[in-house]
Chain A
Amino acid sequence: NAGVTQTPKFQVLKTGQSMTLQCAQDMNHNSMYWYRQDPGMGLRLIYYSASEGTTDKGEVPNGYNVSRLNKREFSLRLESAAPSQTSVYFCASGTGETQYFGPGTRLLVL
Chain B
Amino acid sequence: GDSVTQMEGPVTLSEEAFLTINCTYTATGYPSLFWYVQYPGEGLQLLLKATKADDKGSNKGFEATYRKETTSFHLEKGSVQVSDSAVYFCALSDLNTGGFKTIFGAGTRLFVKA
Contacts and interface: CB of A to CB of B under 8 A. Distances in A.
* Most chain A beta carbons < 10 A, residue from B44, B99, B107: B99
B22 interface: no
A104 B32 CA distance: 25
Contacts of B34: 97-98
A102 B43 contact: yes
B98 A48 contact: yes
Contacts, number: 53
Given A31-B99, A90-B43, A103-B43, A97 B104 contact: no
A19 interface: no
A: contact size bracket: 20 to 34
Contacts of B102: 33, 45, 97, 99
A4 B43 contact: yes
A50 B104 contact: no
B46 interface: yes
B43 A96 contact: no
Interface residues of B, number: 21
* Most chain A beta carbons < 10 A, residue from B93, B100, B107: B100
B49 A98 contact: yes
B106 A96 contact: no
A42 B99 contact: no
A94 B102 CA distance: 11
Contacts of B101: 45, 48
B93 A41 contact: no
Contacts of A99: 44, 46, 102
- Nearest first, the 6 A-B pairs at minimum CB distance are A101-B43, A50-B99, A97-B93, A42-B106, A42-B104, A43-B104
